[in-house]
Chain A
Amino acid sequence: MEMTKQHDHDHDHGHEELEQLKILGFWIFVVTDCILFGTLFATYAVMIHSYAGGPTPKELFELPGIVASTFILLTSSFTSGLAVLAMNKKKVNEMIGWLAVTGLLGLAFVGLEIHEFSNLAHEGATIATSGYWSAFFTLVGTHGLHVSIGLFWMVALIIQLKRRGITTVTHRKITNFSLYWHFLDIVWIFLFTVVYLMGVM
């Protein structure tokens, strides 16, 4: 009896270690994603004055909307952390609630970005306008795409949580998701600083 119990415990422990390894694997993906954004930032920095006679960011950027997006994304990063705290307390409903808040904030962020992009296109700045705007739309758009993919992922996770509750597997998935979401907010800090704040200077 003792032996089987011990064995079960070892088995459980092995399972958890595998999940830990998967979290490390996901973390390594996040680091490589960081390198992807590094290359896009490098392109942007090189293209910073390549307007080809077209509009400049200083003329077109509207800071109030960008500041709103910044605080929306920062708050959603915080609420995704609250979802993890609820998970650690094994409160699945509270957890789904915070994930839903995170998702709505993410949706608002993507909505504002689409609005911003369509305004820019309306003012004559598209991805084909100049080197600067190509680099801008690629860099900011890649981030927006990451947030959009994150929203679909989150909906899938909420469905899994409803069906299966908090297991070692859903626990690992939510941990990875919150890492991903915090990472996207960190990328946005640099987008906000380098693209928007320096853009309106």
Chain B
Amino acid sequence: MTQHGNHGAHGTHGSLKSYVIGFILSIVLTIIPLVIVTEQMLEKTATILTIMAIAVLQFVIQLYFFMHIKEGEKPRYNVHALILGLVIVVTIVAGSLWIMMFNKY
């Protein structure tokens, strides 16, 4: 009820349900990589790829269930800014690793 009264005026809506779902999924996605690493279930490269993929998945889940990224008014300038930021981050990290590969003498 109150949620309806608030519409448009505030940044975050969200419901208890969305926070609980996000919390449970985050717990599961923290335990899975932990078990993979401590039990040494996969070989090294496969482990790195799997746990990075799970971290990205948890990032998306928290963005959606905790930060309610999809619930703004359009145009969603926040999403535009975030995408730009992520492009810069990926460029810095991947670019640094790439260029420094040529520096191993």
Task: Give A contacts to B, CB under 8 Å.
Answer: 16, 20, 23-24, 27-28, 31-32, 34-35, 37-39, 41-43, 45-46, 63, 67, 70-71, 74-75, 77-78, 81-82, 84-85, 88-90, 171-172, 175, 178-179, 182-183, 185-186, 189-190, 192-194, 197-198, 200-201
Could you list 19 examples of A-B contacts with CB < 8 Å?
A24-B77, A27-B78, A27-B82, A34-B85, A34-B86, A37-B89, A38-B88, A42-B95, A46-B97, A74-B26, A82-B19, A88-B3, A88-B10, A175-B10, A179-B67, A182-B67, A183-B67, A189-B58, A201-B47
How many residues of chain B are within 8 Å of chain A by beta carbon?
A: 50
Bound Cα distance from A200 to B66, whole angstroms: 29
Bound Cα distance from A42 to B94, whole angstroms: 8
Given contacts A34-B85, A189-B59, A198-B48, contact A85 B34 (CB under 8 A): no
Given contacts A74-B27, A193-B33, contact A84 B14 (CB under 8 A): yes
Bound Cα distance from A189 to B13, whole angstroms: 24
Task: Give B contacts to A, CB under 8 Å.
Answer: 2-3, 6, 9-16, 19, 22-23, 26-27, 30, 33-34, 37-38, 44, 47-48, 51-52, 54-55, 58-59, 62-63, 66-67, 77-78, 81-82, 84-86, 88-90, 92-93, 95-97, 100
How many pairs of residues, A versus B, come closer than 8 Å at their CB atoms? 127
Instruction: Determine the chain B residues whose CB is within 8 A of the CB of A27 once the complex forms.
Output: 78, 81-82
Instruction: Determine the chain A residues whose CB is within 8 A of the CB of B97 once the complex forms.
Output: 42, 45-46
Given contacts A74-B26, A179-B67, A197-B34, contact A46 B100 (CB under 8 A): yes
